[in-house]
Copies of this chain bind each other. A is one copy, B any other.
Amino acid sequence: MEDMEEFEYQPRSVKDLFIEMKNIAELMVDLAYTSILFGDKEIAEEVVDLEERMDLLNYQMTLHAVLAARNVKEAEKVTSILQMANAIEDISNAAGDLAKMVLEGLELHPVIKEAILESEEVIAKIVVSPDSVLVGKTLGELDLATNTGVWVIAVRRGRRWIFGPDKDFKIKPHDVLIGRGTHTSVEHLKEIARGVIRVVGNERA
């Protein structure tokens, strides 16, 4: 409902909608692999929810884009937006299909998890110890993607999941970060989270 109101009274630009679609598609793929890796139905549910959000965004975006076309030249450009939006939605649907494998409780072949664990980009759980330098800092301050090469996709706090946490998200002791990065970068962040390494990037945290 909130989204519909936003759409009615405060129309967002095609660009903003487009950026959100692209970011969500990337998050969905990451979360889909994560749900498979950990056999986690809650994460899989989130992917399916994001698929619905994606449909809504695509609908709003299409409406705005089509309204903007006033002549043949503009119509051609608008068509390029719609084509790209369709490709992004195809990616998000593929992520949804992956998540549904988890939701349907399909018995997964061990090769699947191995492939996710041995790709160039891997996914890992990183447990934050109370004496880690990460504690009390926001993701914006830490900028882990730049400083450690690890993208934080989701966070498990107690029984709650936070998906696609933003810059203002502040890390607490015992948070479990779900990160995507190289093997080395993930291992490095684990050492920081464990409290063994006391430095994030080039600065002392």
Interface residues of A (CB under 8 A from B): 14-15, 18-19, 22-23, 26, 29, 32, 36, 65, 73, 76-81, 83-84, 86-88, 90-91, 93-95, 97-98, 101, 106-112, 114-116, 118-121, 143, 145-149, 151, 181-182, 184-185, 188, 199, 202
Contacts and interface: CB of A to CB of B under 8 A. Distances in A.
- Number of identical protomers: 2
Given A80-B112, A119-B23, A97 B86 contact: yes
Contacts of A199: 202
A93 B93 CA distance: 12
Contact of A80 (B22, B65, B109, B202): B109
Contacts of A119: 19, 22-23, 26
Contact of A87 (B78, B94, B182): B94
Nearest to A114: B15
Contacts of A151: 121
Given A18-B115, A90-B90, 11 more contacts: A19-B115, A23-B120, A26-B121, A77-B108, A80-B106, A81-B112, A87-B94, A94-B94, A143-B184, A145-B185, A146-B185
